[in-house]
Chains A and B, each alone.
Chain A
Amino acid sequence: DAGVTQSPTHLIKTRGQQVTLRCSPKSGHDTVSWYQQALGQGPQFIFQYYEEEERQRGNFPDRFSGHQFPNYSSELNVNALLLGDSALYLCASSWRETGTQETQYFGPGTRLLVL
């Protein structure tokens, strides 16, 4: 049973460029969440997708956008990259079951360096 997978593993961009990160959820999961983890800090919630719609959003600017596909995989897009966007980007998947506490399972992350 494949877990959460992310691509690419590493990425180097320059300021002002745009980047797309990809995530495939764990088998059987239908919800994808994205988190940003700056060096030495805990992950910060970016947004969450379910049924191809953004359901919740954290305190991130509109430069951060996403998409979920019918097969539940997801993309995170960041436009107009800033140096401060350098971080580990983590994808987490879960199965949305009403009335219960979802458990989120994380992928290995994509490390983005903005120069």
Chain B
Amino acid sequence: AQSVTQLDSHVSVSEGTPVLLRCNYSSSYSPSLFWYVQHPNKGLQLLLKYTSAATLVKGINGFEAEFKKSETSFHLTKPSAHMSDAAEYFCVVSEGTGFQKLVFGTGTRLLVSP
């Protein structure tokens, strides 16, 4: 079974500083990986996805992630944090070759201070 591990439950940054949210995955074959964001009392919004094309994936709102097979990692980064980035972030792997289900990590809460 595929799984993802989010290495930090909470990350605190100051506005304008870089963001790094860490994710490691476990997969028996080339996985499809996603990052979703969840703002308080809201549903999940797709930030970006990796599907074995370019290893550096650009998403919405200035976020990007790099797929590193040798390290089994898919870390999410942003050069400069904004107050509106404060939310819960989920690293997700897709499992299944036919009908696919999403397997979520436990989430990382990003706190952004002025």
Q: How far is the CB of A53 from chain B (nearest CB, A)?
A: 10
Stretch at the interface among A14-22, A62-70, A104-112: A104-112
Smallest CB separation, B63 vs chain A (Å): 16
Structural contact, B107 and A102, CB atoms closer than 8 A: no
The secondary-structure label for the interface of chain B is: strand
**Number of B residues, CB within 8 Å of A:** 23
Q: Are B101 and A48 in contact (CB under 8 A)?
A: yes
Query: A101, B44: Cβ atoms under 8 Å?
Result: no
A35 to B96: give the CA distance in the assembly, Å. 16
A90 to B105 CA separation, bound complex (whole angstroms): 16
A90 to B102, CA, bound (A): 12
Summed over the interface, the residue pairs from A and B with CB atoms below 8 Å come to a total of 56
Q: Find residues 13-58 in chain A having any chain B CB closer than 8 Å to their own CB.
A: 31, 33, 35, 41-45, 48, 50, 55-56, 58
Residue total for A at the interface (Cβ-Cβ under 8 A): 27
Q: Which of B11-19, B45-53, B70-78, B79-87 has 4 or more CB atoms under 8 Å from chain A? A: B45-53
Which one of A33, A41, A101, A106 lies within 8 Å of B101 (CB-CB)?
A: A33
What are some 25 contacts across the A-B interface (CB < 8 A)? A4-B43, A33-B101, A35-B102, A41-B106, A42-B105, A43-B44, A43-B90, A43-B102, A45-B102, A48-B101, A55-B98, A56-B99, A90-B43, A90-B44, A92-B102, A101-B32, A101-B100, A103-B34, A103-B46, A103-B49, A104-B102, A106-B36, A107-B43, A108-B42, A108-B43
B-side interface residues toward A, CB under 8 Å? 32, 34, 36, 42-46, 49, 51, 90, 94, 96, 98-107
Question: Which residue numbers of A lie inside 8 Å of B, CB to CB?
Answer: 4, 31, 33, 35, 41-45, 48, 50, 55-56, 58, 90, 92, 96, 100-109
